[in-house]
Structure 1
Amino acid sequence: MLKTFLTVWRARFVNHSARAVVVSITLLILAGCNTLGNAHNTPAQPEPDLSELVHDAAEQMIASNPELTRYSPMIAATFVSIDNLSQSSTLGRISSEIMASALSRQGMQVREVKMRDSMFIEESVGELILSRQVQRLSAQHNARSILMGTYAQGQDYVYVSARVVRAGDAMVLGSADFRLPLNNNTRSLLEGQGGW
């Protein structure tokens, strides 16, 4: 009798344990599927757009120095590579154009001047020293300030630094920085190296 009871009890216990294991595994699988399903249903955050980042940077620049617009009119120089201050790219050219437009929306008067070969930054002296050509150009256009900037390519991002400097003495009046994801679009803009 005791032997029969133990046999029945063991069979039920093993059967019950097996069912518990099966139920546990099933619940884990369902939880995993639910998590994966939610991951697919959640829309991925879009990568920031260059134009959006530049406009945000222009807003920050004006917010940090509301008096910046007093230094109008401004002319814009092409943004250059931090590794070679005499070299730019499509990214440098379009970043400068968008930033000038964004600052104009913030109340800065911007003079349209295509400055190809009109501006360079002397590497041996420092990146904020203005050449005689720039001083002459700003005098010709009665510009009180100049938009300039640099960019650096990293492994995952391109870092951009923009500033508005006073034409007469290169004093920084406003600055802003942002980083752009290094995706195929950004790489394509960087490949457009060449003169400015």
Structure 2
Amino acid sequence: MKGRTISFIIALAALLALGACSGYQERTLDYLGKRPTTGPFFKDDNTPMVELNYDAGDQISNQLEERLPIGSPITVTMFRLRGSTLQTDFAKVLTEQVASRIAQKGFAIVADSSRFPMTAIDEDLAPPQKCVLAGAYSVGKTRIFITAAVTTVEDGEIIGSWDWNVPLNTRTRSLLPIKESPYIDPMVNTSGPLQKENSSPQPRFDPNQSINQPGFEQDIMN
């Protein structure tokens, strides 16, 4: 009797296991060929840089319309990387796009204000003021934080400014002195210390040392 009972239990267990395997197989087949099993670990924010910079130019232009006399010349200073004298391609593109947008809004972006007439076109209007557009930026881990301002040359008064940020993605990274390490270090080292070739130091900066929050610097013109 015990032998029959044990045989019955074994047969029942085998049937249950077979049914479970069949269910797992059906559920597995439901996923095959329907969606990828892997995906990108990080997803870049691909918002076009020019759109964000043009929006900043619009915001500054709106402030200038209220405070800047008609015909005032605005010279442009290359935007700088905070804490560094390094001039980057990112700074050149950034400066050109913001200045270009302000010029599109009808303001006089000039290379040399000394040759620009400084008399009012009408007796009822205030005389033009010489101004300078300048800016600074900091590179964070995922964003680049930017500040730009238009100030008067005579007394350094800020008459238009804006803070914004752009994504640190593949496109903007290519304009900065950020290089990926040529060495791939395994998570588990099984072959002893890694040997790296000596190379001459390249100008670079550590994003972790930069200010990761936007803000206006008092010495933006220096």
TM-score (norm 2): 0.55
Flag the structure with more relative contact order, 1 or 2, with Cα contacts below 8 A and sequence separation at least 6: 1
Whichever residue aligns with residue 181 of structure 1, its letter is L
User: Do 1:69 and 1:108's aligned partners in 2 also have CA atoms closer than 8 Å?
Assistant: no
Q: Could you tell me how far apart the structure 2 residues matched to 1:2 and 1:151 are?
A: 83
The sequence identity of aligned pairs, in percent, is 16
Q: Could you tell me how far apart the structure 2 residues matched to 1:21 and 1:61 are?
A: 66
User: Do 1:149 and 1:160's aligned partners in 2 also have CA atoms closer than 8 Å?
Assistant: yes
Corresponding residue of 1:112: 110
Q: Could you tell me how far apart the structure 2 residues matched to 1:181 and 1:45 are?
A: 8
Q: Could you tell me how far apart the structure 2 residues matched to 1:39 and 1:99 are?
A: 36
Greater share of residues in helix? 1
Q: Which runs of 5+ in 2 are unaligned?
A: 119-128, 178-202, 204-222
State the number of aligned residues: 160
User: Do 1:162 and 1:176's aligned partners in 2 also have CA atoms closer than 8 Å?
Assistant: yes
Deviation at 1:140, TM superposition (A): 4.6
Inter-CA distance 15–52: structure 2 relative to 1 (3 Å threshold): same
User: Do 2:75 and 2:109's aligned partners in 1 also have CA atoms closer than 8 Å?
Assistant: yes
Q: Which runs of 5+ in 1 are unaligned?
A: 114-136
Whichever residue aligns with residue 155 of structure 2, its letter is D
Aligned pairs (5 A) from 1:20-99: 20-24=20-24, 26-28=26-28, 30-31=30-31, 34-36=34-36, 47-62=46-61, 66-70=62-66, 71=68, 73=72, 74-84=74-84, 86-99=85-98
Inter-CA distance 179–69: structure 2 relative to 1 (3 Å threshold): same
Deviation at 1:5, TM superposition (A): 6.7
User: Do 2:47 and 2:167's aligned partners in 1 also have CA atoms closer than 8 Å?
Assistant: yes
Corresponding residue of 1:166: 152
Once the two structures are overlaid, the 10-residue window that deviates more, 94-103 or 7-16, is: 7-16
Deviation at 1:168, TM superposition (A): 2.9
Q: Secondary structure at the match of 2:96?
A: helix
Inter-CA distance 60–20: structure 2 relative to 1 (3 Å threshold): farther
Deviations, residues 40-68 of structure 1 (Å, cap 9, x unaligned): 9xxx7762332122113223445xxx342
Q: Could you tell me how far apart the structure 1 residues matched to 2:102 and 2:52 are?
A: 13
Inter-CA distance 112–180: structure 2 relative to 1 (3 Å threshold): farther
